[in-house]
């Protein structure tokens, strides 16, 4: 079996997502294991790291035993040995960078959101298709073990007919006053592409549609829970984008549900993100890693509120979570970002079908845009087909 190296430019290599998830947890393991078997070839990624901070670039390169790195994006794009361009840098710069990469005739794999707006995303898609280049968008949450288990038991009708769902996500992000913030300040500024709608609803669209069905309409509300924050340099700034959102969703199949996301909520749920699905034969909760299930036989008979009776008997709170069981899965864990890379490389090398292309990334932006519009106008928004 022949071996083939494929050059990948990793732009934004010093960012947390790129350096940790895409490089260290996805591509380096593929390289360490000798590459991917695609058709009759072993394909080994060859990485070129690109970023603005020379010191940080060298640290990441040394940590991962990568020999090639540069602060010169134009020089990287001009190198014909590297046919794939990955974009993982700042959101507000993404459109310009991807446009340059397309002009340089590189296949594109990009973090979300793929563009600032649907119209700009469609223009980008037109350019890349006219150049006959492959393209993909990162939709990593598809491959979370908990969501995969949830999808399986929905598809095999374990839950029966779906009647409703709700997605809950978030944790408390400190404002930097007494405890350092866990998220960078750009998340809280409109000019740098911040806000929960663009940051997280671009994930929730593909999660819901791939597990439950296509979304037909939404109505959203949003607010700023923590209006004043302190940035990485100790400077005060005002938050001008939403840090908490609540959205009602209707699917084309008639099922309705809700999405609650917040950077200002304290966790009392099974995981950082949970998708709850109720069906006629049972209910399930999918998290990052696990999936919990309660069938009709385990569903408790609730007759109503009985607080005084329990108090008189000296009973404590009834722990309803005990009636749920974990869905077992003996398959070994594979990092979701790695699965995305394996799928994209197979698409580039062997033209295998790719679920998450740039068009899917545009749908993610459309969903966020509809939620933003709804929140401003206080109306239901129909989602048009792209």
For residue 214, which of 265, 257, 276 has the smallest C-alpha distance?
257
Tens-digit pLDDT string for the chain (386 aa)? 789 999 999 999 999 999 999 999 999 999 999 999 999 899 999 999 999 999 999 999 999 999 999 999 999 999 999 999 999 988 878 999 999 999 999 999 999 999 999 999 999 999 999 999 999 999 999 999 999 999 999 999 999 999 999 999 999 999 999 999 999 999 999 998 899 999 999 999 999 999 999 999 999 999 999 999 999 999 999 999 999 999 999 999 999 999 999 999 999 999 999 999 999 999 999 999 999 999 999 999 888 776 665 555 555 567 888 899 999 877 889 999 999 999 999 999 999 999 999 999 999 999 999 999 999 999 999 999 99
Do 72 and 180 lie in a common domain? no
In sequence order, the β-bridge partners of residue 275 are 167, 286
Secondary structure (H, E, C), 280-315: CCEEEEECCCCEEEEECCCCCCCCCCCHHHHHHCCC
Instruction: Tell me how far apart the alpha carbons of residues 135 and 96 are, in angstroms, rounded to a whole number.
Output: 16
Answer positive or negative: Cα dihedral of 138, 139, 143, 144.
positive
Q: Is residue 382 part of a domain?
A: no
- Please give the tally of structural domains in the chain: 2
- Scored b (16 or more CB within 10 A) or e, 270-302 reads bbebbbbbbbeebbbbbbeebbbbbbeeeeeee
Q: Is residue 201 part of a domain?
A: yes
Do 160 and 180 lie in a common domain? yes
Cβ–Cβ under 8 Å, residues 288 and 270:
no
Do 212 and 318 lie in a common domain? yes
Which run of H or of E encompasses 32? helix 28-32
Do 18 and 132 lie in a common domain? yes
Q: Is residue 47 part of a domain?
A: yes
Token pair 């329990």 is at which residue? Answer: 310
Predicted TM-score (pTM) of the model is 0.94
Estimate the crossing angle of helix 358-377 against helix 202-211, to 10 degrees: 110
- Please tell me whether the peptide bond between 352 and the residue prior to it is cis, using omega within 30 degrees of 0: no
* CATH number of domain containing 58: 3.40.50.720
Do 129 and 174 lie in a common domain? no
Q: Is residue 119 part of a domain?
A: yes
Cβ–Cβ under 8 Å, residues 215 and 250:
yes
Do 155 and 304 lie in a common domain? yes
Q: Is residue 383 part of a domain?
A: no
Cβ–Cβ under 8 Å, residues 6 and 349:
yes
Do 175 and 221 lie in a common domain? yes
Q: Is residue 385 part of a domain?
A: no
Q: Is residue 384 part of a domain?
A: no
pLDDT of residue 316: 59
> Residue 300: which domain range?
142-333+366-377
Do 228 and 120 lie in a common domain? no
Do 239 and 373 lie in a common domain? yes
Do 102 and 249 lie in a common domain? no
* CATH number of domain containing 282: 3.30.360.10
Do 132 and 229 lie in a common domain? no
Do 119 and 171 lie in a common domain? no
In sequence order, the β-bridge partners of residue 45 are 6
């Amino acid at each position: 079996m022949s071996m083939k190296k494929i050059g990948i430019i990793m732009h934004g290599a010093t960012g947390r997502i790129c350096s940790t998830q895409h490089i260290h947890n996805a591509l380096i393991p593929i390289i360490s294991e000798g590459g991917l078997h695609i058709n009759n070839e072993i394909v080994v990624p060859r990485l070129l790291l690109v970023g603005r901070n020379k010191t940080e670039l060298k640290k990441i390169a040394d940590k991962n035993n990568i020999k090639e790195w540069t602060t010169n994006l134009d020089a990287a794009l001009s190198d014909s040995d590297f046919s794939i361009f990955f974009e993982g840098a700042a959101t507000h710069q993404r459109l310009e960078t991807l446009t340059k990469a397309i002009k340089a005739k590189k296949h594109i794999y990009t973090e979300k959101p793929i563009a600032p707006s649907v119209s700009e995303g469609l223009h980008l898609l037109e350019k890349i298709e006219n150049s006959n280049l492959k393209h993909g968008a990162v939709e990593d949450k598809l491959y979370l073990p908990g969501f995969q288990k949830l999808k399986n038991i929905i598809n095999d009708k374990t839950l029966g007919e779906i009647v409703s769902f709700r997605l809950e996500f978030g944790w408390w992000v400190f404002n930097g006053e007494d405890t350092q913030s866990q998220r960078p300040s750009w998340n809280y500024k409109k000019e740098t592409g911040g806000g929960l709608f663009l940051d997280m609803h671009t994930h929730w669209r593909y999660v819901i549609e791939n597990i439950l069905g296509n979304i037909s309409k939404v109505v959203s509300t949003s607010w700023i829970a923590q209006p004043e924050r302190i940035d990485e340099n100790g400077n005060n700034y005002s938050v001008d984008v939403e840090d908490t959102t609540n959205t009602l969703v209707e699917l084309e199949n008639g099922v309705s549900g809700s999405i609650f996301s917040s950077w200002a909520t304290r966790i009392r749920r099974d995981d950082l993100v949970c998708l709850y699905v109720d069906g006629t034969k049972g209910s399930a909760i999918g998290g990052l890693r696990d999936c919990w299930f309660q069938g009709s036989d385990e569903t408790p008979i609730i007759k109503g509120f009985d607080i005084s009776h329990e108090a008189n008997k000296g009973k404590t709170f009834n722990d309803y979570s005990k009636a749920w069981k974990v869905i077992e899965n003996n398959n070994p864990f594979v990092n979701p970002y790695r699965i995305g890379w394996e799928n994209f490389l197979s698409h580039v090398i062997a033209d295998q079908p790719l679920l998450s292309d740039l068009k899917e990334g545009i749908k993610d932006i459309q969903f966020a845009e509809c939620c933003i519009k709804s929140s401003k106008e206080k109306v239901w928004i129909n989602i048009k087909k792209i």
